[in-house]
Structure 1
Amino acid sequence: MLSKWSRKVTFQLFQWHNEWIIRGFQGLLLIIEMKYENFIIKNAGKIIIATSILIGLSIIPLFFIRINPDLESYIPDDIDAKLNMNKISAVFGAEENLLLLVGSEDILDPATLEQVTTICSGLEQIEGISHIYSICQAKNIMGLDGSLIADQVLPANLSEPFNRDSLRNIIMQNDLVYNILVSEDFKETLIILTIDKSINDHDLIHSIMEIMQSVKGNAKVSMTGMAYLREEANKKISADLILLLPLGIIVMFLFLLLAFKNLKGVLLPMSVVMISILVSMALIPLFGWELGLIGVLIPIMMLAISNNYGVHVFSRYQEEIDSKNGKTNREIVADVIKYLKRPVFLTGLTTMAGVLGLVTHILLPAAQMGVVASISIGLALILSVSFIPAIMIYLKPDLKIDRSSQAPGLMQKILAVTASFVTRHTRCTIGVFIIFFLLSMAGLSWFKVAPDSNNVLPSDHPFNVAAQTIDQKFGGSKMIQIMFKGDIRDPQLLRKIEISGNHIKKIEGVGSVNSITTIIKKISSALNEPGTTEYNSIPDKFETIAQYIELYNMSGDPGALEQFADFNYEHSLLTIQYSATDMKTIQNIVKSIRESVKNDDRCEAIGGYSLVDQALGESVFLGQNYSLLFAFIVIAFLLSWIFKSIYAGILGSLPLIFAVFVTFGLMGWLGIELNIVTALLSSISIGLGVDFTIHMFWRLKSEIHSGKNITGAVITSITTIGRGISINALSVIAGFSVLFFSAFPLIHSFAFLIIISIFMCLLCSLLLIPAICLMIKPRFLYY
């Protein structure tokens, strides 16, 4: 969980982000206008030393990184779902359920029952489990000579023969067992554990797993519940960081080596990558934050993004060397900085602005990632135009590579064909983009928000397999609790609870509804004759209900009563089990439940983790919209400011709009849901994609100013800066591709979508933007 201090820091940083952008403009204007290259040349040694010190200082905070797999903590505390759940926890304790599912051909088989009993006995010894409810603890309430008897459902001695059919009939007549603890086909049974949320998940799950594995038997035992999800996510986050980062570094190393065919062209950008990753991870504990599921993306983002500027610097460095202009190495470095400082600084600023769109996200880890990533991107930008040139100064000046006799490479051939096609078939190019955009947009009809956290783990993971079985055979794995205030011995209160429960039972998707009235009616059935008004009903008198409860406490299981009533009998819970596979179904069920109690002044809170899950999904959608709107506005403003034309802002936003909405449309077509990870897609792709547009605008403007017409400028721009843009885009794609090896399916989806989005941005910069410029000849390119 985030500390109060870290939440305060988070909030403060989000408040400052607009000020950062304004000051960034001012600072960049000063840097761009001054002779920045002279400063780098004169202070190269000092820059290298300062960078080395930064590396050393950034290592220390890494030892204090903590992982937070608790999805509940990702949404703000003032969300209604969390407030209501906390209100219920304040009365009934900060507890949650953990479910063990036992499957067998017949759970009434003596060997299976013995296995369940042994497991339950072992679970009783584990610290943190406050209550166990299973077929072993279940009671069969009966009346005998005016007295209430609550016998165990199971025979006292399972080693002795018993009548299986008779036991089956007893269970089928028990509303508190049949379809609650035992499935209708008698092939599964549940062990419901009530656990203390303050207990360490790792220790608890490890202890439970030990018992599950140590008890031998033919029945298959699996587990589901939020504590199990948190523990599995915790392990997989650690495993992802250990696997993905080294793998990503290897992939990026090989890609740059293939692109530049020069070891220095690999090591220089990679040095910036490593430093930015180091600093980004160090910032997390420095701000008092924890590394969540979303945090797995941070080092991979830095790997994919922070090499961009170094790639452009070294690419230009190669161009200068190949020109054979007789300059010294120091002069070449100065010219590289002088030429690139403005476009590189400005593309870096727009990337930061796009990623900063995440700070408007409702999910705290997403907002935190926006802060950390934007700072680290800024650092990568500064290092690319200071640290890399400083290193270049000390390189031996014998790096000339004679490429005049070399045949054009594959990339150069593709770019030449692209330039020719765009200039010859301008209208056709634009038409193809429009058709593809419209076809993709049709997929928005099937665009969905993830309804729960189940997609965090693979569908075949035991967590999800157990949850699916519970959905199918036990009325649902999702739970909502309604807390009523008032004395549970009050007949009027109980009748209101009963009416609400009966109404909720009729809602499609609801599997079971239980409350204190379930127990009271069961007791009345045991103590009264069938056909009488008192049978299976709530008594009219306070005293009678009090007597029922007293009799149950003496002869039954007080623990079962505690599930529905607090210690002082001042509050009661109505528990609803339901199943739903999409957000719309959940919203309809929740709406119907709220409608059933909206006029009941004794209804104090409606809570449960499934409502937090719903709030998480809705926050993802809302946060996506906020960050998307913020990023578009800031990017359009920046482009207008950079090129001193509002038309540049509008035209430059077209590739971003195309890429984002095509990606959303494809999500609909392919059935990929918007979740806590894919919701980050738009801000990241906008921040990256705008770089390509700026570089293309910049080169077109430069070529036109050199005397070329718009057609010549387009051909030259595509075949020259197009190489740098392509290497940039493909390096980003290569960096994000390692996410396919993540243990989390939703990160696989993100990897696929971000690659599609970046590729769309690349196509737009090489095809759509030049085609539009050929058609409308925007004035901002001419002045």
Structure 2
Amino acid sequence: MDRLGAFYDRVILAHPWLVLILLGLLLAGTALGFGQFRLDASAESLVLENDRSLEQYRRVNRIFTSSDDFLVVTYTPDQELFTRSGLERLAALRDELAALDAVSSTNSILNVPLLHSPDLNLDSVDSEIKTIDTDDVPPETARQALLNNPLYPNLLIGENAETTAIQVNLPTPKQYFELLNQRNDLRDKVQAGSASAAEQAELKRISSEFIQFTEQMGNERDQTIGQVRDILDRYRDQATIHLGGVPMIVADMIRFIKNDLSTFGVGVLAFLLLTLAIIFRQWRWVLVPLLCCGFTVWLMVGFLGWAQWPVTVISSNFISLLLIMTLSLTIHLIVRYREFQHDEPEAAPRDILHRTLMAMIKPCFYMAITTIVAFGSLTFSGIRPVIDFGWMMTLGLTVAFLITFLVFPALLRLMPPPVDERVASNRIPFTDAFARFTERFGGTVLVGSGILAVLCVIGLSRLTVENSFIDYFKPSTEIHQGMITIDNHLGGTTPLDVVITDKPAPENGGGDPFASDCDPFVQDCGSGEEYRDTWYTYQKMQQLEEVHEYLDSLPETGKVLSIDTTLALLAQVNQGEPLDALELAFVPAAVPEDLKDILLTPYISEEHDKARFSIRILETNPDLKRQELLDKIRHHLTQKLGYDEDRVLLSGMTVMYNNMLQSLFDSQIKTIGVVFGAILVMFLILFRSLTLALIGLAPNLIAAGSVLGLMGWLGIPLDMMTITVAAITVGIAVDDTIHYIHRFKTEFAKDRDYLATMHRCHRSIGQAMFFTSLTIITGFSILVLSNFIPTIYFGLFTSFAMFMALVGALTLLPRLIVLIKPFGRS
């Protein structure tokens, strides 16, 4: 400490301008990274580390030429849809959307084949196809043709024929996948340790190019979505219109996050500064925390941009958290400075500043270290964005500590504050009421803490991870309203693919489908072998029909599409008669070329020997439990229908999102266990007493358990943001614990009176703890105005965490100290 004090005297306090000038140069350098600071809400930002589901999802899309890169426009006209004028207005809207540069094509009831002609059969299907666009089809005839077609209801048109949809296709450029594959291949080599120096350099170049391209693609897509919304606004006077689709959800999530980062970041800071002005009533005590917080955030944003380290949905609140931590450090310094100032009003400002720094640097250092440990525990999660969030906060807290203990003394050295006559050192603050309560009702504090602990355990047992994506957004948002419309009228929102691989041909069969006495084209071969030469056999189609009927029967599923849908349609074309085995064999040849991309290739890949079932999950179903649904599907296909495990693949956004959710419990257990173990070790190093370390751990356990328990009691599930609340709670609660115990140890040495020491601590460090909690609770209350529900939960639970940490540190902690007497006898 002597060397540190000498460093401050000779460098920081002696040359404050030099410190600020060097900091200014550093700020100017990091500002160069502002232009590269970016947000990421892609699929990669919401999957587990090394999760194969994303690659499987992309591979399935490539095999079956399918994609989720489209917008869905739901259209419910005020008047009848199926009239000449109603269809003309729909066509006008469709044409305007199709004219946009980024739109490759559109699908709607206007251009799909109606297949309604009485002369239609398998032989004439190519010549008799009609559409609303190209043929003079009476509106009522078109309506019946669409509703009677097994493909379109609950997909392009609601069952009541009042709501329809326009699918606006926004294809992802081939360059994106080329860069993605190059980056992934090189990354695999680097991780395996087999990459040469040239390949490592190439990885850096490709990664940078990929980031730039995705940034450009995102900006162009945002512009396109804005143009789509402008077009839709011109048609809202005569229809109820909603916009949906994965690209729109991603764009709006990024917009919400940007809004939270800017508007709410500034709003939180404004609330914090207003509270500081009310508490301390001196402009210096507003300016100094403002500059410390601003410099910390500035450096971190610049560094993240320079390092091309994107902020995701999960880490989007790192700015708010940095404000909390930096502000906490500065408030503790301010309160201690004012104590010294009023104890010795005649002392030189430089001496007071030096004493403040020497008194606070040790507890603040341990506070920063233990908080870093709390956030560092997130790196044990299996979720990439959570891991990144942990590293971001670890680095950010390091920066916050350094900035606070460099900028605070430099600024106060240049503009020392006068003594505030409104504050007296012997004034009994509000926090002393906690001391009196703890002294008088010590048993009540212990019993109440025990009851609270039991309630926490019960609440934890009720905690779940099953949540609906639709619940992330307020009912007033277009995402929420669009999802409800799509779920209720257009077959569901979240995609799920079930892919079945054909059995390999027997070795002695030679790949000849006629190697046995049974002809699979004209007979039902019963339990005979299935051959990979073709899917279009009677037996295989019967099996796929069983799968389709099962998937369609589930209450959680909406629209189910497969080759069975196509066969049902062809049966209608075949005068209502199901296709026999011979007709099945010639289905690929019978379907016109321009219809194969609609009726065949999305569901059957002969080249890859796979059949696909495209399912839409009903996000609005209150009983939706994704893991249970996926397990139920897999069990039925393997145990009831006899498919081998390796022949069944579940893929899609539903699987990736579920994988992330199911890892939350495991991640939460890991992070909480690691953080408390690490904090216990830190307490042992700091306090050099196992008894004192366990005492200090108690309020932290109560604070973290209270937040998670409250979530369980309220039925609020863990999600991609609330998983971080427990670690944040511990980090916040640890700050108060360290400061209080450190001050208690210092004060106790004066008279070795536990009760008197408790009252002095509540009047001194208790004030700093109270001011910090009050400031943060007030500031974070503004987050309830966000449109992103996880951000609202983050603000509310952070505020609740601060409250519980404060109450625990001012009641349970001193009561345990007075009861156990870890510093020796009075």
Q: TM-score range by the shorter chain?
A: 0.7 to 0.9
The equivalent of 1:612 in structure 2 is 656
The equivalent of 1:540 in structure 2 is 581
The equivalent of 2:567 in structure 1 is 520
Larger CA deviation: 625-634 vs 199-208: 199-208
Residues 328 and 219 of structure 1: CA distance in aligned 2, closer, same or farther (over 3 Å): closer
- What is the deviation of 1:464? 1.7
- Counterpart residue identity of residue 291, structure 2: S
- What is the deviation of 1:758? 1.0
The structure 1 residue matched to 2:91, chosen from 117, 135, 151, is 117
- What is the deviation of 1:693? 0.6
Tell me if 1:400 matches 2:443: no
The equivalent of 1:563 in structure 2 is 602
> How far, CA to CA, are the matches of 1:384 and 1:146 in structure 2?
79
- What is the deviation of 1:686? 1.0
Residues 423 and 319 of structure 1: CA distance in aligned 2, closer, same or farther (over 3 Å): same
Tell me if 1:766 matches 2:740: no
> How far, CA to CA, are the matches of 2:145 and 2:137 in structure 1?
17
- What is the deviation of 1:759? 0.5
Q: Could you tell me whether the CA contact under 8 Å between 1:88 and 1:605 is conserved in 2?
A: no
The normalised TM-score by structure 2 is 0.83
> How far, CA to CA, are the matches of 1:215 and 1:403 in structure 2?
63
Tell me if 1:350 matches 2:370: yes
- Counterpart residue identity of residue 67, structure 2: E
SS in 1 for 2:591: helix
**Unmatched 5+ residue regions in structure 2?**
174-216, 502-531
SS in 1 for 2:243: strand
> How far, CA to CA, are the matches of 1:186 and 1:764 in structure 2?
60
Larger CA deviation: 682-691 vs 552-561: 552-561
> How far, CA to CA, are the matches of 1:759 and 1:588 in structure 2?
37
SS in 2 for 1:95: coil
> How far, CA to CA, are the matches of 1:123 and 1:603 in structure 2?
41
Q: Could you tell me whether the CA contact under 8 Å between 1:181 and 1:189 is conserved in 2?
A: yes
1:207-356 correspondence runs (5 A): 207-214=227-234, 218-324=238-344, 326-356=346-376
Residues 336 and 157 of structure 1: CA distance in aligned 2, closer, same or farther (over 3 Å): closer
The equivalent of 2:617 in structure 1 is 578
The equivalent of 2:450 in structure 1 is 434
Residues 231 and 145 of structure 1: CA distance in aligned 2, closer, same or farther (over 3 Å): closer
- Counterpart residue identity of residue 46, structure 1: L
* 1:463-496 CA distance string (max 9 Å, x none): 2212112222334222211234454434444333
- What is the deviation of 1:138? 2.9
- Counterpart residue identity of residue 614, structure 2: T
- What is the deviation of 1:525? 4.1
Larger CA deviation: 722-731 vs 128-137: 128-137
- What is the deviation of 1:358? 2.2
* 1:698-756 CA distance string (max 9 Å, x none): 12211221223111111111122111111122223233233233332220111001100
Residues 167 and 55 of structure 1: CA distance in aligned 2, closer, same or farther (over 3 Å): closer
Residues 657 and 520 of structure 1: CA distance in aligned 2, closer, same or farther (over 3 Å): same
> How far, CA to CA, are the matches of 1:603 and 1:86 in structure 2?
18
Q: Could you tell me whether the CA contact under 8 Å between 1:85 and 1:608 is conserved in 2?
A: yes
Q: Could you tell me whether the CA contact under 8 Å between 1:452 and 1:613 is conserved in 2?
A: no
> How far, CA to CA, are the matches of 1:357 and 1:156 in structure 2?
59
SS in 1 for 2:612: strand
SS in 1 for 2:586: helix
1:138-149 correspondence runs (5 A): 138-141=112-115, 144=120, 147-149=123-125
SS in 2 for 1:221: strand
Larger CA deviation: 305-314 vs 195-204: 195-204
- What is the deviation of 1:146? 6.1
The equivalent of 2:203 in structure 1 is none
Residues 571 and 212 of structure 1: CA distance in aligned 2, closer, same or farther (over 3 Å): farther
SS in 2 for 1:50: helix
Q: Percent identity?
A: 18
The structure 2 residue matched to 1:187, chosen from 142, 148, 162, is 162
**Unmatched 5+ residue regions in structure 1?**
1-28
Residues 312 and 211 of structure 1: CA distance in aligned 2, closer, same or farther (over 3 Å): closer
The equivalent of 1:78 in structure 2 is 50
- What is the deviation of 1:230? 1.2
> How far, CA to CA, are the matches of 1:88 and 1:649 in structure 2?
53
The structure 2 residue matched to 1:657, chosen from 701, 707, 726, is 701
Larger CA deviation: 554-563 vs 99-108: 554-563
SS in 2 for 1:706: helix
Residues 624 and 110 of structure 1: CA distance in aligned 2, closer, same or farther (over 3 Å): farther
> How far, CA to CA, are the matches of 2:129 and 2:236 in structure 1?
24
- Counterpart residue identity of residue 346, structure 1: Y
- Counterpart residue identity of residue 137, structure 1: N
- Counterpart residue identity of residue 419, structure 2: K
The equivalent of 1:26 in structure 2 is none
> How far, CA to CA, are the matches of 2:380 and 2:103 in structure 1?
39
* 1:6-46 CA distance string (max 9 Å, x none): xxxxxxxxxxxxxxxxxxxxxxx997798766654445443
SS in 2 for 1:306: helix
Residues 112 and 609 of structure 1: CA distance in aligned 2, closer, same or farther (over 3 Å): farther
> How far, CA to CA, are the matches of 2:330 and 2:713 in structure 1?
37
The structure 1 residue matched to 2:783, chosen from 720, 731, 739, is 739
The structure 2 residue matched to 1:706, chosen from 743, 750, 753, is 750
> How far, CA to CA, are the matches of 1:584 and 1:161 in structure 2?
41
SS in 1 for 2:73: strand
The structure 2 residue matched to 1:55, chosen from 3, 8, 27, is 27
Larger CA deviation: 662-671 vs 273-282: 662-671
> How far, CA to CA, are the matches of 2:424 and 2:671 in structure 1?
50
> How far, CA to CA, are the matches of 1:764 and 1:325 in structure 2?
33
User: Between Structure 1 and Structure 2, how many residues are aligned?
Assistant: 740
Q: Could you tell me whether the CA contact under 8 Å between 2:36 and 2:308 is conserved in 1?
A: no
Task: List, as ranges, runs of 4+ consecutive aligned residues in structure 1 with deviation greater than 6 Å.
Answer: 29-35, 404-407
Residues 338 and 405 of structure 1: CA distance in aligned 2, closer, same or farther (over 3 Å): closer
* 1:339-395 CA distance string (max 9 Å, x none): 222112111211222122222233333322222222222222223233322332333
- What is the deviation of 1:649? 2.6
> How far, CA to CA, are the matches of 2:699 and 2:151 in structure 1?
59
> How far, CA to CA, are the matches of 1:39 and 1:515 in structure 2?
74
1:323-472 correspondence runs (5 A): 323-324=343-344, 326-396=346-416, 399-403=418-422, 408=427, 412-444=428-460, 446-472=462-488
Residues 146 and 573 of structure 1: CA distance in aligned 2, closer, same or farther (over 3 Å): closer
SS in 1 for 2:476: coil
C-alpha RMSD of matched pairs (Å): 3.1
Q: Could you tell me whether the CA contact under 8 Å between 1:597 and 1:603 is conserved in 2?
A: no
- What is the deviation of 1:692? 0.4
> How far, CA to CA, are the matches of 1:654 and 1:145 in structure 2?
77
The equivalent of 1:171 in structure 2 is 146
The equivalent of 2:627 in structure 1 is 587
> How far, CA to CA, are the matches of 1:30 and 1:294 in structure 2?
42
> How far, CA to CA, are the matches of 1:186 and 1:730 in structure 2?
56
- What is the deviation of 1:583? 8.3
Residues 644 and 777 of structure 1: CA distance in aligned 2, closer, same or farther (over 3 Å): same
Q: Could you tell me whether the CA contact under 8 Å between 2:495 and 2:614 is conserved in 1?
A: yes
Tell me if 1:483 matches 2:488: no
Q: Could you tell me whether the CA contact under 8 Å between 1:103 and 1:221 is conserved in 2?
A: yes
- Counterpart residue identity of residue 495, structure 2: M
Residues 330 and 177 of structure 1: CA distance in aligned 2, closer, same or farther (over 3 Å): closer
* 1:307-359 CA distance string (max 9 Å, x none): 22222222211111211364322222222122222112111211222122222
> How far, CA to CA, are the matches of 2:599 and 2:240 in structure 1?
26
Larger CA deviation: 301-310 vs 667-676: 667-676
SS in 1 for 2:308: coil
> How far, CA to CA, are the matches of 1:545 and 1:280 in structure 2?
63
> How far, CA to CA, are the matches of 1:556 and 1:417 in structure 2?
78
The equivalent of 1:687 in structure 2 is 731
Residues 145 and 446 of structure 1: CA distance in aligned 2, closer, same or farther (over 3 Å): closer
The equivalent of 1:6 in structure 2 is none
Q: Could you tell me whether the CA contact under 8 Å between 1:488 and 1:569 is conserved in 2?
A: no
Q: Could you tell me whether the CA contact under 8 Å between 2:339 and 2:425 is conserved in 1?
A: no
Larger CA deviation: 146-155 vs 714-723: 146-155
- What is the deviation of 1:760? 0.1
The structure 1 residue matched to 2:591, chosen from 542, 549, 552, is 552
